[in-house]
Amino acid sequence: MNIRAAIKGKVKQAGFSLSEGLFGVAIMGIVFVSLYSGMATGFHSIRDSQENLRATQVMLEKFETIRLYNWDQLNTPGFIPPTFTANYTPNEASKGITYSGRVTIGAPVMPEVYNTDMKAITVYLTWTSGGLTHDRSFTSYVAKYGIQNYVY
Reading the chain (152 residues) residue by residue, the pLDDT tens digits are 566 655 555 555 667 788 888 999 999 999 999 999 999 999 999 989 989 999 999 999 999 888 888 888 888 888 999 999 998 887 776 778 899 999 999 888 877 777 778 889 999 999 998 889 999 999 998 888 776 666 55
Taking the C-alpha atoms of residue 129 and residue 122, their distance in angstroms, rounded to an integer, is 23
Look up residue 137 and give its amino acid. S
Cα–Cα–Cα angle for 116, 64, 60, rounded to 5 degrees: 105
Count the domains in the chain: 1
E strands within 42-131?
83-88, 97-106, 118-129
pTM of the model: 0.71
Taking the C-alpha atoms of residue 4 and residue 16, their distance in angstroms, rounded to an integer, is 23
Residue 127's domain comprises: 2-150
